[in-house]
Chain A
Amino acid sequence: MTTRDETFAKVKELIDPFNKKGVALTEATRFAQDLEWDSLTVMDFVAAIEDEFDIIITMNMQAEIETVGQLIDAVEKLRDKA
């Protein structure tokens, strides 16, 4: 497994509790449209991701992240920086 695969696996694990409809996850899955998350769910989920990877995803960055793939990109980038 590459680090990206590992990150995807971890992100998937953190999405699962919020994936009420059991949507099949790929990198193209969109948080708003496919998972139908509202802003409160996003807040809880982002906090979980931040704590897991010990990073900060600012609200400015969150505005640009629409898909699982984009989130993984962001996590990878922020971890490299840390």
Chain B
Amino acid sequence: MTDAGTIPEDKPVDALTGAHTADLLSKFDPLIAEREALLATGVRDPFAIVMEKVLSPTEAIINGKPTILLGTYNYMGMTFDPDVVEAGRQALTDFGSGTTGSRVLNGTYSPHKDVEEALKEFYGTSSAMVFSTGYQANLGIISTLAGKGDYIILDADSHASIYDGCWLGNAEIVRFRHNSVEDLDKRLGRLPKEAGKLVVLEGVYSMFGDIAPLPEMVAVAKKHGAMILCDEAHGMGFFGEHGRGVYEQLGCEDDIDFVVGTFSKSVGTVGGFCVSNHPKFEVLRLVCRPYVFTASLPPSVVATAATSIRKLMHAGNKRGKLWDNSRRLHKGLKDLGFKLGTEDAQSAIIAVILPDQEQAVGMWQSLLDLGLYVNMARPPATPAGTFLLRCSLCAEHRDEQVAEIIEMFAKAGRHVGCIPS
């Protein structure tokens, strides 16, 4: 809370009425001070990187310097695929730069229907609904499915879009300890038997890159009569026979009621979606506010997405390469002595755990100076108050690049003193 006793002397006073205006931004003063103190040490702002040129899915020019990208979620490297780019170019020519309208009014063009067809082919479902972002897909689907008197049961480490979807609706919100089947079981068991329940899970949790024990969680959710939504944002493209996600790999396809995903990771553009076999699914288009009350995606975006999704159906080689890259990087960093988010490479995210902000920023800066970009993540986005350097691999990272990345981590780690020299 703010300390009510201190009134800043420079608070603006209205000349006519003499009224004080409470500065609504003063609640952020502690954060402003923390950032200023950090930047005063001479480091670059980790949250203000500009890519001056993007050379490929794995390389950009940052600060005039060629830099390997290891924090983009561009898992399958589709962003510069010639077919994908050409599809976008053609749609831009044929349909213009934007729809200027909602999906339920003037904002549905044939490319929007086509990308939904592509999703149905990819997931083998009867319905697919495309949103303007992945964030909005969770916001819309969760807030619309669970209404007043219903319960949403979510993992404590859920993505912000899942939490925000909970807050947007009127349901009761219950959370369980991260990936704890027992904790989920206990909480479901205490809820009213007749109440509607939606259990929200993620295939891959994006901070540590760990995957969920979906078969056990699904069994527990079914036992208590709950419907299940699984977010596969970080699993699409390279988990399971068809690349549908962790839920496919772990054999839960018949039990997940709703799969939410994004176009901004493996698909390589922007947008979000929900696919389902529920016979009444289509009604959601009329009642889901984040779907109705916003403009639809530009036709060029959905055209690139449709082409990319169809190519991902036959991307076995890329999948294999991505997994190789992930395992190699995980082993390389572990051998150097870094503390990682998972014991083995469970996904294409490798999280390096650092003890405090100073070391995290120091490492991040050293890596950037060496020509490597990774994501820095800090509380409250991270679980258990940890500071992370989050690496996400791409199927297009070449073997030499992975070797170079490990070498850069070795140098930076010794320079900052977080691994033995």
The docked-state distance in angstroms from the alpha carbon of A38 to that of B384 is: 10
Interface assignment of B380: CB less than 8 Å from any CB of chain A: yes
Q: Are A39 and B175 in contact, CB atoms less than 8 angstroms apart?
A: no
Closest partner residue, chain B, to A44 (CB atom): B177
> CA separation between A50 and B177, bound complex, in Å?
12
**Stretch among B55-63, B183-191, B281-289 lining the A interface:** B183-191
Q: Report the separation of the CA atoms of residues A50 and B175 in the bound assembly, to the nearest whole angstrom.
A: 11
Least distance between A9 CB and chain B CB atoms (Å): 23
Residues in A with CB closer than 8 Å to B191 are 56
In the assembled complex, how far is the CB of residue B192 from the closest CB belonging to chain A, in whole angstroms? 10
Interface magnitude class on chain B: 10 to 19
In the complex, chain B residues whose CB is within 8 Å of the CB of A59:
166, 173-175
Q: Is B156 in the interface zone, CB < 8 Å from A?
A: yes
8 Å CB contact of B385 from A33, A38, A50: A38
Cα A51 to Cα B175 in complex, Å, equals 13
Neighbour of B190 across the interface among A40, A43, A54, CB < 8 A: A54
B172 at the interface (CB under 8 A from A): yes
**Is there contact, CB below 8 Å, between B174 and A56?**
yes
Q: Is A3 engaged at the interface, CB distance under 8 Å to the other chain?
A: no
Q: Does B31 contact A (CB under 8 A)?
A: no
A23 interface residue per 8 A CB criterion: no
Contact call A47/B183, Cβ cutoff below 8 A? yes
Is A2 part of the contact surface with B, judged by Cβ < 8 Å? no
Q: Please give the distance in Å from B140's CB to the nearest CB on chain A.
A: 20
CB of B37 closer than 8 Å to a CB of A: no
Q: Which residues of A contact B174 (CB under 8 A)?
A: 56, 58-59
Q: Which of B175-204 contact A (CB under 8 A)?
A: 175, 177, 183, 186-187, 190-191
A77 to B380 CA separation, bound complex (whole angstroms):
32
Chain B interface main SS type: mixed
- Contact indicator A32/B172 (Cβ below 8 Å): no
Any A CB within 8 A of the CB of B49 = no
Q: How far is the CA of A56 from the CA of B383 in the complex (A)?
A: 22
Residue of A nearest to B163 (CB): A59
Task: Tell me if B1 counts as interface (CB < 8 A to partner A).
Answer: yes
From 36 to 82 in chain A, residues with beta carbon under 8 angstroms from any chain B beta carbon are 38-40, 43, 47, 50-51, 54-56, 58-60
Residues on A with C-beta less than 8 A from B1 are: 32-33
- Bitwise interface map of B from 315 to 330 toward A, beta carbon under 8 Å scored 1, else 0: 0000000000000000
- Asked whether B190 lies within 8 Å of A56 as measured between CB atoms, the reply is yes
Q: Chain B contacts of A39 at CB under 8 A?
A: 380
CB contacts (< 8 Å) of B175 on chain A: these are 43, 59
Q: How far is the CA of A33 from the CA of B2 in the complex (A)?
A: 10
C-alpha gap A33/B174 in the complex (Å): 24
- Given B172, B186, B190, which contacts A60 in the complex, CB threshold below 8 Å? B172
- Interchain CA distance A60-B191 in the complex, whole Å: 15
Q: Which B residues are in CB contact (< 8 Å) with A54? A: 190
Closest Cβ–Cβ distance, residue B174 to chain A (whole Å): 5
Contact with A along B370-393 (1 / 0, CB 8 A): 000000000010011100000000
Closest chain B CB from A69 CB (angstroms): 18
Minimum CB–CB distance from B176 to chain A (whole Å) comes to: 8
From B156, B173, B380, B383, contact of A58 by CB (8 A)? B173
| Contact B384–A40 (Cβ < 8 Å) | yes
Q: Which residues of A lie under 8 Å from residue B380 when comparing CB positions?
A: 39
B190: nearest residue on chain A (CB-CB)? A56
Residues of A1-46 whose CB lies within 8 A of B: 32-33, 38-40, 43
Pair A47/B385 contact, Cβ less than 8 Å: no
User: Which of A32, A38, A43, A55 is in CB contact (< 8 Å) with B156?
Assistant: A43
Residues of B within 8 A of A33 (CB): 1
Contact B384 A56 (CB under 8 A): no
A interface list, Cβ under 8 A from B? 32-33, 38-40, 43, 47, 50-51, 54-56, 58-60
**B interface residues (Cβ-Cβ under 8 A, vs A):** 1, 151, 156, 166, 172-175, 177, 183, 186-187, 190-191, 380, 383-385
**Could you jot down 16 A-B contacts, CB within 8 Å?**
A32-B1, A40-B384, A50-B187, A55-B190, A56-B174, A56-B190, A56-B191, A58-B151, A58-B173, A58-B174, A59-B166, A59-B173, A59-B174, A59-B175, A60-B172, A60-B173
Instruction: Enumerate the 6 nearest inter-chain pairs by beta-carbon distance, A residue then B residue, closest first.
Output: A59-B173, A58-B172, A56-B190, A58-B174, A58-B173, A56-B174
Q: With contacts A38-B385, A43-B175, A47-B177 known, what are 16 further pairs, Cβ within 8 A? A: A32-B1, A33-B1, A39-B380, A40-B385, A43-B177, A47-B183, A51-B186, A54-B190, A56-B174, A56-B190, A58-B151, A58-B172, A58-B173, A59-B174, A59-B175, A60-B173
